[in-house]
A and B are shown apart, each in its own frame.
Chain A
């Protein structure tokens, strides 16, 4: 490994830590759940009202202030495997169905 490589890694790690600090400081517990499809808002509601939203392509569950995707018709199931979200700015994306779930 060259010296420049080590410097590069240290610099990048520093940038990462700073960004992480910014993200963590800015992330407060959210209030509303917003779901968009094709960049158009299709749902908006409270995070603290337990609910199951069936979008045909995806089944989204809001429970105890947390949002989770329970089912999806796509092959890779990335949104289903994604952890529950509750903080402001956190998102779950379902790329194949162009669905984006955001806590605001």
Chain B
């Protein structure tokens, strides 16, 4: 138990640093909300290790802390809803065993963007649909990159303990 708490703490911190690094690299000129999703690689790694509870915990802790520390609290609605739903989708897709790490990473990224678009649709109106093609492309590119990364990490890290 103590080992798990320590592990999740460390992974959440690593994710937090990744999230912070991402805020220094603004890709929002492509479309608002576009990012690499480095931090999601941590959750992805936990899903690959079959630790779904850990993936949820680490992602939720990271998003809450990130919004408290660096971002406007209003964006919490965006990040938390998208974070929870995309983690759920990645887990369900990994259960089906149809796709590899890259596949569910891309689907996770796509869900993340989709949920944010829906939230924006509710808060801001229908005009946000203009960005949907760019959000699909960014999900493909960043999703595959992070999926690939998580797969490499999964191979290198045999077990956490």
Chain A residues at the B interface, C-beta cutoff of 8 Å: 1-2, 4-5, 8-9, 12-13, 15-17, 19-20, 23, 27, 36, 39, 74-76, 78, 81-83, 89-91, 93, 95-96, 98, 100, 102
Residue ID in chain B nearest A91 by CB atoms: B127
Interface of B is mostly: helix
A76 and B120 CA atoms in complex are apart in Å by 17
Contact present for A81 and B26 (CB under 8 Å): yes
Contact present for B110 and A12 (CB under 8 Å): yes
Chain B residues at the A interface, C-beta cutoff of 8 Å: 23, 26, 28-29, 32, 71-72, 74-75, 78, 98-100, 102-103, 106-107, 110, 120, 123-125, 127-128, 130, 132-134, 136-137, 139-140, 144, 148
Contact present for A4 and B29 (CB under 8 Å): no
Q: 5 A-B contacts, Cβ less than 8 Å apart?
A: A2-B98, A2-B102, A76-B23, A82-B32, A93-B124
Contact present for B72 and A74 (CB under 8 Å): yes
Give the shortest distance, in Å, between A29 (CB) and chain B (any CB).
14
- Chain A residue numbers with a CB within 8 Å of B98 are 2, 4
Give the shortest distance, in Å, between B34 (CB) and chain A (any CB).
11
- Chain B residue numbers with a CB within 8 Å of A74 are 72
Residue ID in chain A nearest B75 by CB atoms: A95
- Chain B residue numbers with a CB within 8 Å of A8 are 99, 103, 106-107
**If the complex has contacts A2-B103, A12-B106, are A78 and B130 also in contact, measured as CB distance less than 8 A?**
no
